[in-house]
Amino acid sequence: MRYIRQKDGFTLIELMVVVVILGILATFLVPKIMNRPQEAKVVKAKNDIKAIESALKMYKLDNGFYPTTEQGLKALIQKPDIEPIPKNYHEGGYLDYPSEPVDPWGNKYIYRSPGEGGREYEIISYGADGKEGGEGYNRDIKNWEIQ
């Protein structure tokens, strides 16, 4: 019986081809992967704002009004002690947060009630830079612009 001996390992040419292919792939994939964390933060901020909106609607359903700007989003976590005091406040609050919610960049959400332009309330994240305005990932995320 004859045995065919197989080569052990790879040749230098084979290794160089693999390195070149990996380099080409990295050139195209790395820039796309690097932006994913910021995209994920934008999506999380939008989802947070939707959850806050749901909690605000439940608050209004129970009490007949939204928390004031002064009461802020903290009113969704613990019963406000400044006027107007809600009479039918849900035991345990309306949001399951230990403290006032912050956006994915660590900044507090802006809450105003009443809002501008006749809106009953506004919830805003100032985006990655934490400043009003901006472009791209620094752009403000506003509850009335979320679809």
CATH number of the domain bearing residue 43: 3.30.700.10
Residue 23 — very low, low, confident or very high, per pLDDT cuts 50/70/90?
confident
- pLDDT for res 102: 95
pTM of the model: 0.76
Average pLDDT over residues 103-109: 96
Q: Examine residue 26 and state whether it is found in any structural domain, yes or no.
A: no
d(CA 93, CA 82): 16
Q: Examine residue 108 and state whether it is found in any structural domain, yes or no.
A: yes
d(CA 142, CA 67): 18
Strand-pairing partners, residue 125, are 141
Residue 22 — very low, low, confident or very high, per pLDDT cuts 50/70/90?
confident
Taking alpha carbons only, the member of 41, 66, 36, 58 closest to residue 125 is 41
Residue 25 has pLDDT above 70, yes or no: yes
Residue 5 has pLDDT above 80, yes or no: no
Domain that holds residue 122: 37-145
Look at the chain and report how many structural domains it folds into. Answer: 1
